[in-house]
């Protein structure tokens, strides 16, 4: 039986790396698949991981229809057994429904990867629909860590190292303190306090020493 599986986690937990590994494993067994992505940090029409791995991919846009894309390829003799869909939080609910239709009616396995909530802790529409429709929701086992050492559960948008809670839901960026507008993963406690690593360092007695939780 084909499945729609949603692999979820915060930024920095290895989603894109797993997506590329999964594609490699299936292709090595002779299965035909398509890589999809949307607004990857490395640019258009590429699926990349922070480990340096990258593969060409089909860029998903507002007008992309997954059902039409697979039917067209199969009609022209291309084998399509599975789809790997990265950055799935940016897909529309209608596109997620098309993915579910491919699983149910054409027997195509769909592996979607994405974060569930934005920098305001609000669900992305695409992720919400995936949670509602997926046969399985898998939380990635590689845990991203907050600066305090606890498991990171929230994505924070930062400007100059300070957390912001207003702005457009979708702004492409990456983790790292060197970028002016970027993202940082935090535990819930420090997300609620808006305490990024830069703020923690600025308020610590020793500027270069961070307080780690002892549990």
* Residue of 3, 5, 10 whose CA lies nearest to 184: 10
Helix spans in the chain (H): 15-28, 66-75, 93-106, 125-133, 188-192, 197-203
Residue pair 77/129 in contact (Cβ under 8 Å)? The answer is no
* Active-site annotation holds for 87: yes
Q: Within a 13 Å sphere around the CA of 128, how many CA atoms are in the beta-carbon half?
A: 10
Question: Distance of CA 38 to CAs 35, 49, 88, Å?
Answer: 11, 13, 7
Catalytic residue among 3, 69, 78, 87: 87
Q: Which residues are catalytic?
A: 87
């Amino acid at each position: 039986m084909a499945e729609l599986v949603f692999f979820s986690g915060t930024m920095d937990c290895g989603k894109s790396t797993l997506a590329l590994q999964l594609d490699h494993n299936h292709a090595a067994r002779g299965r035909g698949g398509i890589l999809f992505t949307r607004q990857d940090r490395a640019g258009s029409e590429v699926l990349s991981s922070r480990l340096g791995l990258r593969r060409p991919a089909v860029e998903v846009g507002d007008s992309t229809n997954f059902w039409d894309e697979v039917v067209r390829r199969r009609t022209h003799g291309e084998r399509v057994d599975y789809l790997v869909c990265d950055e799935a939080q940016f897909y529309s609910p209608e596109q997620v429904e098309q993915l579910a239709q491919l699983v149910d009616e054409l027997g195509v396995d769909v592996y979607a990867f994405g974060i569930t909530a934005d920098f305001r802790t609000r669900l992305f529409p695409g992720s919400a629909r995936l949670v509602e429709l997926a046969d399985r929701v898998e939380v990635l086992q590689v845990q991203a860590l907050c600066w305090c050492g606890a498991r990171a559960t929230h994505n924070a948008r930062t400007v100059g190292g300070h957390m912001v809670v207003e702005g457009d839901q979708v702004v492409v960026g990456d983790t790292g303190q060197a970028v002016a507008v970027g993202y940082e993963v935090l535990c819930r406690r420090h997300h609620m306090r808006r305490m990024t690593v830069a703020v923690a360092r600025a308020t610590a007695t020793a500027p270069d020493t961070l307080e780690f939780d002892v549990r």
